[in-house]
């Protein structure tokens, strides 16, 4: 059956490898993917473990529906204790790795210890080898994958790997598969580097048996028609995710020059229509018909002729708006370099823009920067700093430590200019005019986040009747809702609903763009009931899917609390409250977050989650979710 894949425990110190089956009981509790990873993280990483020490676990998984006849069932989840924040480390990536890992016989890998020398794992049809990676150490992400395919004499091998940034333990290094599919956030690549784990390579030809194949095909066609007919999908097919930047910049919802402005003017060269001119086609992930990933060749400068994929919405913000650069070439080169080195584009751009503001304020000087002129819009300086961060050279070595550690090293008043939550930088969005999005950023389980609870459809001015139907299923909700994204009423429940929705998506291993993220009429809990049954044979109700996702999300909260999180860290930096946005549309200009109303939202958010006023899950909540005996050691 589609769910008969195994879990493997791999100790890199001893070389011991054990495999086990995954019981239906644990499947029903957490389904798979991110959900089961959260269980494994809480059960296998001891309290207080050094994120870059051998006790931390590097966890890799495929979701319950990955590789099946469910549309966009491509996603792989990775987890560990984060070296960036010290809390939950968690990231998600598309491409083809997850389906290949399932075809090789495994859904979950738990990797502990530290190898004495660089190694990579090779998984093939139920077998796992620990192989020497000495020749791969120091290689970029792209070369690493090609060299492994050549060594194994198999061009169909799929690899998830780190680049030089991970080897150097840059605290926001990521793991990447193919050219640009990155599990970017929270620094999982640094954890792999600390273990001398260069890559995991998979090749499988084992069948994934579908419970009801004909019906699954027919229903998936319905889902595909629903997804690709949506206006948002048609736009992404043409422009990719950069279209989001075009909209948000026009509105005034992007942070520019770190956090000084909320719109990048005179930026025609990096608008999505301009970037489209450099595209030579699009690509997609396993089982996806949208194909939102651009393919491009750099046309000028030192990297002329270089092929890569992207850029995503986030790369335009990181190497455009945040640093005040208006050059398409800078965005495309910056996007290529973070892919090459294996580094989170969001964190990289944010750290560079922070350094530029410190330079403007005189907190950093040319003596500190090694002679670099960090004035806003200096394209060459942005590119140079990407290299320096990945190699941990000069100022780059400080910036490689992430927001809190870098601010501690620089001192003075540098921390007040950091735009972060829980020690992780925000992406380039500006949530000062949007209370719901601001609350999501503040409370997200892995730090500042736009992918784990963002109610993006709050920006659409949807009718209250629609919102009530959407946000009242599968859990009834009779509280306030409003079509005005500037209001505070009803926003806590919208954030919670989206948190549980996205957790479920990551448990199943499907793409967020195929659910209620940017498209309000996209598939959700009711459709997943049928997808799960037709593909796996397992019977869930919509409420049972919600409960499994809620259980996993609460496990994330328990992990963070165990590692020292408290209410004070579910917050925004002072600039959200004290500095109104100066630009944007008339309904945007002059707005900032109201402290009292934010506190009220946070209180309501905790209450509706079943947590106490300090943000700790109540005993009755743990009992309701069968979490009162965790860690239970079932796996």
Distances in whole angstroms, Cα of residue 552 to Cα of each of 76, 177, 429, 520, 590:
16, 26, 27, 24, 38
Contact 468, 475 (CB under 8 A): no
Is the confidence at residue 2, as pLDDT, over 80?
no
pLDDT band at residue 360 using 50, 70 and 90 as cut-offs: very high
Q: Give the pLDDT of residue 146.
A: 98
Q: Which CATH class is domain 6-203?
A: alpha beta
- Average of pLDDT values for 72-89? 98
Q: Give the pLDDT of residue 157.
A: 98
Is the confidence at residue 299, as pLDDT, over 80?
yes
Nearest to 449 by CA among 331, 314, 564: 314
Is the confidence at residue 159, as pLDDT, over 80?
yes
Contact 121, 128 (CB under 8 A): yes
**Architecture category of domain 435-624 in CATH:** Orthogonal Bundle (1.10)
Instruction: Sort residue 32 into left (φ over 0), alpha (ψ -120 to 50) or beta.
Output: left
pLDDT band at residue 559 using 50, 70 and 90 as cut-offs: very high
pLDDT band at residue 240 using 50, 70 and 90 as cut-offs: confident
Q: Give the pLDDT of residue 246.
A: 87
- Average of pLDDT values for 120-125? 98
Contact 311, 277 (CB under 8 A): no
Q: What is the pLDDT of residues 28-43, one digit of tens each?
A: 999 999 999 999 999 9
Domain 235-425 has CATH 1.10.569.10: yes
Whole-angstrom distance, CA of residue 528 vs CA of residue 513: 14
Q: What is the pLDDT of residues 432-448, one digit of tens each?
A: 999 999 999 999 999 99
Distances in whole angstroms, Cα of residue 318 to Cα of each of 42, 155, 438, 507, 582:
32, 33, 19, 29, 20
Is the confidence at residue 1, as pLDDT, over 90?
no
pLDDT band at residue 200 using 50, 70 and 90 as cut-offs: very high
The token pair that represents 240 in the structure block: 């990719």
pLDDT band at residue 69 using 50, 70 and 90 as cut-offs: very high
Is the confidence at residue 582, as pLDDT, over 70?
yes
Average pLDDT, the chain: 96
All structural domains of the chain with their residue ranges? 6-203, 235-425, 435-624
DSSP track, 106-154: EEEEEEES--SS-EEEEEETTEEEEEE-TTTTT--HHHHHHHHHHHHT-
pLDDT band at residue 317 using 50, 70 and 90 as cut-offs: very high
Surface-to-core class of residue 624, CB atoms within 10 Å of its CB (0-12 exposed, 13-18 middle, 19+ buried): middle
Segment among 29-33, 279-283, 469-473 with least mean pLDDT:
279-283
pLDDT band at residue 4 using 50, 70 and 90 as cut-offs: confident
Q: What is the pLDDT of residues 412-430, one digit of tens each?
A: 999 999 999 999 999 999 9
- Average of pLDDT values for 598-626? 98
Q: What is the pLDDT of residues 489-535, one digit of tens each?
A: 999 999 999 999 999 999 999 999 999 999 999 999 999 999 999 99
């Amino acid at each position: 059956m589609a769910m008969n894949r195994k879990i493997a425990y791999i100790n890199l110190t001893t070389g011991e490898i054990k495999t086990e089956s995954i019981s239906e009981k644990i499947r029903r509790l957490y389904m798979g993917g991110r959900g089961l990873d959260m269980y494994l993280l809480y059960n296998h990483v001891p309290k207080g473990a050094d994120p870059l020490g051998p006790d931390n676990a590097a966890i890799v998984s495929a979701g319950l529906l990955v590789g099946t006849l469910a549309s966009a069932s491509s996603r792989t989840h990775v987890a560990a204790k984060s070296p960036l924040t010290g809390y939950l480390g968690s990231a998600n990536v598309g491409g083809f790795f997850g389906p290949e890992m399932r075809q090789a016989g495994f859904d979950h890998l738990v990797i502990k210890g530290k190898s004495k020398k660089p190694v990579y794992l090779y998984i093939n049809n139920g077998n796992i080898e620990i192989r020497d990676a000495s020749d791969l150490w120091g290689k970029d992400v792209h070369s690493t994958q090609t060299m492994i395919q050549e060594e194994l004499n198999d061009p169909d091998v799929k690899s998830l790997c780190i680049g030089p940034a991970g080897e150097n333990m840059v605290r926001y290094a990521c793991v990447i598969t193919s050219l640009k599919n990155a599990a970017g956030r929270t620094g999982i690549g640094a954890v792999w580097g600390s273990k001398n784990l260069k890559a995991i390579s998979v090749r499988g030809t084992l069948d994934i048996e579908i419970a009801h194949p004909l019906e699954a095909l027919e229903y998936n066609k319905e889902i595909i028609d629903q997804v690709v007919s949506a206006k948002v999908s048609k736009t992404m097919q043409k422009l990719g995710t950069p279209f989001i930047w075009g909209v948000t910049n026009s509105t005034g919802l992007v942070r520019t020059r770190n956090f000084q402005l909320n719109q990048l003017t005179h930026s025609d060269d990096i608008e999505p229509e301009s970037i489209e001119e450099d595209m030579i086609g699009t690509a997609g992930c396993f089982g996806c018909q949208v194909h939102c990933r651009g393919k491009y060749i750099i046309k000028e400068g030192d990297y002329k002729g270089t092929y890569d994929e992207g850029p995503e919405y986030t790369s335009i913000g990181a190497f455009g708006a945040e640093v005040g650069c208006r050059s398409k070439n800078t965005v495309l080169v910056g996007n290529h370099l973070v892919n090459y080195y294996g580094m989170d584009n969001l964190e990289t751009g944010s750290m560079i823009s922070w350094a530029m503001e410190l330079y403007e304020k005189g907190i950093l000087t040319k003596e500190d920067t090694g002679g670099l002129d960090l004035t806003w819009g200096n394209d060459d300086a942005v590119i140079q700093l990407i290299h320096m961060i990945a190699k941990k050279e000069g100022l780059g070595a400080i910036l490689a430590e992430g927001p809190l550690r870098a601010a501690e090293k620089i001192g003075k008043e540098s921390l007040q200019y950091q735009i972060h939550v829980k020690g992780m930088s925000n992406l380039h969005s500006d949530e000062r005019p949007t209370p719901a999005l601001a609350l999501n950023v503040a409370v997200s389980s892995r730090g500042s986040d736009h992918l784990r609870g963002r109610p993006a459809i709050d920006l659409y001015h949807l009718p209250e009747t629609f919102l009530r139907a959407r946000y009242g299923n599968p859990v009834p909700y009779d509280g306030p809702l409003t079509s005005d994204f500037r209001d505070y009423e009803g926003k806590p429940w919208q954030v919670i609903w989206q948190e549980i929705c996205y957790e479920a998506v990551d448990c199943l291993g499907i793409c967020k763009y195929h659910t209620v993220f940017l498209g309000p009429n996209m598939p959700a809990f009711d459709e997943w009931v049928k997808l799960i049954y037709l593909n796996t044979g397992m019977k869930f109700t919509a409420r049972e899917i919600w409960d499994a996702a809620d259980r996993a999300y609460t496990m994330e909260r328990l992990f963070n609390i165990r590692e020292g999180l408290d209410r004070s860290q579910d917050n925004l930096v002072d600039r959200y409250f004290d500095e109104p946005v100066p630009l944007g549309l008339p309904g945007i200009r002059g707005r900032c977050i109201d402290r009292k109303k934010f506190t009220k939202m946070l209180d309501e958010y905790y209450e509706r989650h079943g947590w106490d006023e300090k943000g700790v899950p109540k005993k009755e909540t743990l009992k309701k979710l069968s979490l009162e005996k965790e860690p239970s050691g079932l796996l």
